[in-house]
Chains A and B, each alone.
Chain A
């Protein structure tokens, strides 16, 4: 596969503040890649750089083999869908959709026919004569989508397109966007701070922090095998337990940690385990057991399927879970053992 969009060493500053730090990214043709991160992580800056609304201080942007870095925004031919829809308030729905075609010099009748065809695809053929102000949020976002798609751009970009919609509509629109994107095979970049949204819609997700991509992978890999502590925390591995290997016996590894913690892990399930590592677990992956990591239980919360406990250990505070059949009280001294399906092995970043 060839990369449709290539970002090569992009660096950007606001004044003297570096907001994007040597970011590189390849998006393959027809692929949808999400940029996911908290506000200020650089995801929107990246999108604005690709769109041409900002200029990078260093680096290169190429689309389909053409260098875009110095090309003005209106010549880049990129479809954009904005968070607040950004429809033209003084133009009808049809004129909104036809706007890009008009810029390309297409004649009135053809323009109208293409706009109406695109509106039919998003189910708004009956509203073509309305003004944007007369539409609901979901309808406006469909118009914005139609307006961006009708110019048949080689790249489609979404800037938090679903944030202004209510929860139910958000899920519906997400499916709709994905279907349209698949049908058209349009290479897409999707910016969001919503993990569920990014994971459900994307081929690959780039998790960003402080102007860098911390990991770029399929949602499945990110969710099960984060590569570092930042991504692990981001996808819900709340407990990061530093351990070192005490004994190896085939695939079975016995590891020890602070305060007499001893756990046994299976390399066949978790992959190769280095001598010093961090065991990352979700709350569900650290369970009350006969032996393992000694802990004192704190506050208990009822989660429907199980109880969740705050747990103090010599290595720090963790979040663990226990069965509904055996509720424990605050102050109980127990052991916590990892449950492999909700765990992963991280390199020891402090040692590295």
Chain B
């Protein structure tokens, strides 16, 4: 080894970055274009397409729904997923091995199939209102991420630490919150972020479960581009990106800080 990077390798790395970042640059550029159609590079600069979003109630409404869905489904998934991951790791020897596979099942089933079956059974079959059916669907698709990521963090957690706390007089439930959870917080934050992004970007399941008056932003974008070709979709996409990053930053800070302050 000479320690010097091969120029080809550098070129490849740059190409990968362009491939990854390119679409984002194009979307941001297109959203600023002063034309009535989508184009890149932008011709003239304007923020009027961002203003347009807020004039169109459909975008406003669906954006709120999307964030509600993402937040609620993520919290629900963590509420179910953290105890599940804990049990799967803590009692690994005593539990049957297929149990951990069970929680990954929703990922293995094609989302189209999941969406359609939820429509048939939950919405039409059981008559669950649109909002709640949508929430069930989203929780189902983000749950595997919550279980898997928290599990990965717990797999490297030494449970004798928990036993040490119990032996010192800390009741088991309290020990879980004061000792176990703070030591897997990185996993919990990662699970939150993954689940949140999965929910807010979901199209396939939402496509089936959205109904009269209630839709999510990706579905609204889809509906919009079917009829119009203006830069509004680009600006909505940029807004979605910015808001998602903002939520991540807030989660990272608050969850991180509350745990550190114990």
Contacts and interface: CB of A to CB of B under 8 A. Distances in A.
Interface stretch (B25-33, B60-68, B161-169): B161-169
Which of A51, A80, A104 counts the most B-chain CB atoms under 10 A from its CB? A80
B163 A51 contact: yes
Interface string A48-80: 000101000000000000000000111111111
Nearest to A99: B168
Contacts of B179: 88
Going nearest first, the 6 A-B pairs with the smallest beta carbon separation are A103-B169, A100-B168, A86-B164, A86-B160, A80-B167, A74-B166
A151 B169 contact: yes
13 contacts: A51-B167, A74-B175, A79-B167, A80-B163, A83-B160, A86-B158, A86-B161, A86-B163, A88-B179, A90-B183, A99-B168, A151-B168, A151-B169
B182 interface: yes
Interface of B: 158, 160-161, 163-172, 175, 179, 182-183, 259, 262
B158 A74 contact: no
A86 B170 CA distance: 15
A147 B168 contact: yes
A77 B170 CA distance: 10
Given A82-B164, A89-B161, A74 B169 contact: yes
Contacts of A78: 167
Contacts of B161: 86-89
Nearest to A78: B167
Nearest to B181: A90
A164 to B, nearest CB: 12
Interface of A: 51, 53, 72-80, 82-84, 86-90, 99-100, 103-104, 144, 147-148, 151
A77 B169 contact: yes
Contacts of A100: 168-169
A99 B170 contact: yes
B183 A74 contact: no
Contact of A103 (B170, B259, B262): B170
B75 to A, nearest CB: 23
A151 B165 CA distance: 12
Contacts of B182: 90
Contacts of B164: 80, 82, 86-88, 144, 147
Contacts of B259: 90
A103 B174 CA distance: 10
B18 to A, nearest CB: 40
Contact of A53 (B163, B168, B262): B163
Contact of A74 (B160, B172, B262): B172
Nearest to B172: A74
A35 B179 CA distance: 30
B256 to A, nearest CB: 12
Nearest to A159: B160
Contacts of A104: 169
Which of A82, A84, A103 counts the most B-chain CB atoms under 10 A from its CB? A103
A76 B170 CA distance: 11
Given A76-B167, A88-B179, A147-B164, 15 more contacts: A73-B163, A74-B168, A74-B169, A74-B172, A83-B160, A84-B158, A86-B161, A88-B165, A90-B182, A99-B165, A99-B170, A103-B169, A147-B168, A148-B168, A151-B169
